[in-house]
């Protein structure tokens, strides 16, 4: 897998995503609302749309899958520090999410009512483990490593993280997913293993699922009745963003220190430090026509959905 194949893979994923959305929308329309696949099947299908094309591309490459993706061993001490690193990254994600909510709705809150109707163990597995594993397999595995073969690690981090953000197909999640994608990609470089970012991604999602169910248990109806969106007014968000940003700056600085410790613990400190220094290193062009088509289609859908929602809801 190189950058050209990574770009074709991304475009394929977007096309499959849009095709499935169109089919489900038509089915819902012509059935007059009787066809509804539900949140569980929705989550499974969304991950299959990522993992199936990626597996096909991987099999066509005729390379060792584990070596291609980089599921290498890492020290237990590093894995434990990955958890700390992840929690330190969360305030940044929260701050960016709050800023984006000044302009668009929170995408996770919009499905929280459906999520809470499903037993906790099922949602913890689907959203907290299965989803992160599939997404890391695709974006930090195939796509990120594909870009690294064609250009600098620095730009591979940026570009793969941008695509990871756009893959969510809404501006709210795209904003903080881009930032957290960078943190995850750097974690892969610090640990030398895809397990690093996979563990981190699982921690983020599992924390969100646990928090959602805990809040609903303590304050029944908070999510299912839509109280969250009602409570978070524009003025409240504006007032909260300042403290969020301050905490995010401090915690992100600490996260970088933890990242450096992890890299040193895995004997990759020199490699991690060279990422910025070698940012201009190029082997071949990373941006190609399939990538541009994939980005345009993805952003176009996001704009269309935003306008549609503003007009009809």
**Structural domain boundaries of the chain?**
3-312
CA dihedral (276, 277, 279, 280) in degrees, to 10, reads: 160
Number of H helices, E strands in the chain: 15, 0
- Phi, psi (deg, nearest 5) at residue 183: -60, -40
Return per-residue pLDDT of the chain as tens, 313 residues: 788 899 999 999 999 999 998 998 888 778 776 767 788 998 999 999 999 999 998 888 766 666 667 888 899 999 999 999 999 999 999 999 989 888 888 777 778 888 888 999 999 999 999 999 999 999 999 999 989 887 789 999 999 999 999 999 899 899 999 999 999 999 999 999 999 999 999 999 999 999 989 988 887 776 665 555 555 666 777 787 888 899 999 999 999 999 999 999 999 999 998 988 887 777 778 889 999 999 999 999 999 988 888 787 6
Report how far residue 294's alpha carbon sits from residue 285's, in angstroms, rounded to the nearest whole number: 17
- CA-CA distances (angstroms) from residue 276 to 139, 155, 156, 187, 190? 21, 9, 12, 15, 14
Which residue, among 304, 240, 266, has the nearest Cα to 91 in the 3D structure?
240
């Amino acid at each position: 897998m190189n950058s050209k194949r990574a770009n074709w893979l991304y475009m394929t994923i977007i096309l499959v995503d849009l095709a499935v959305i169109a089919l489900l929308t038509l089915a819902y329309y012509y059935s007059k609302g009787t066809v509804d696949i539900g949140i569980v099947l929705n989550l499974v299908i969304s991950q299959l749309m990522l993992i199936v094309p990626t597996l096909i591309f991987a099999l066509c490459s005729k390379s060792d899958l584990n070596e291609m993706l980089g599921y290498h061993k890492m020290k237990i001490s590093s894995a434990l520090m990955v958890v700390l690193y992840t929690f330190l990254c969360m305030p940044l994600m929260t701050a960016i999410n709050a800023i984006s909510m000044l302009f668009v709705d929170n995408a996770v809150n919009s499905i929280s009512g459906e999520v809470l109707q499903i037993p906790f163990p099922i949602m913890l597995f689907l959203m907290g483990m299965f989803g992160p594993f599939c997404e890391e397999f695709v974006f930090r595995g195939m796509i990120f490593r594909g870009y690294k073969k064609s250009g600098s690690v620095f730009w591979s981090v940026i570009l793969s993280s941008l695509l990871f953000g756009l893959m969510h197909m809404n501006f709210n999640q795209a904003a903080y997913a881009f930032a957290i994608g960078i943190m995850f990609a750097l974690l892969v470089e610090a640990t030398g293993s895809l397990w690093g970012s996979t563990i981190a991604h699982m921690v983020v999602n599992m924390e969100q699922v646990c928090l959602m169910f805990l809040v609903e248990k303590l304050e029944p109806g908070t999510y299912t009745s839509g109280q969250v969106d009602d409570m978070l007014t524009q003025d409240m968000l504006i007032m909260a963003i300042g403290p969020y940003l301050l905490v995010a700056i401090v915690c992100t600085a600490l996260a970088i220190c933890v990242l450096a410790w992890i890299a040193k613990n895995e004997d990759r400190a020199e490699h991690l430090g060279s990422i910025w220094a070698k940012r201009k290193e190029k082997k071949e062009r990373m941006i190609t026509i399939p990538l541009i088509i994939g980005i345009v289609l993805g952003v176009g859908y996001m704009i269309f959905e935003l306008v549609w929602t503003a007009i009809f809801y």
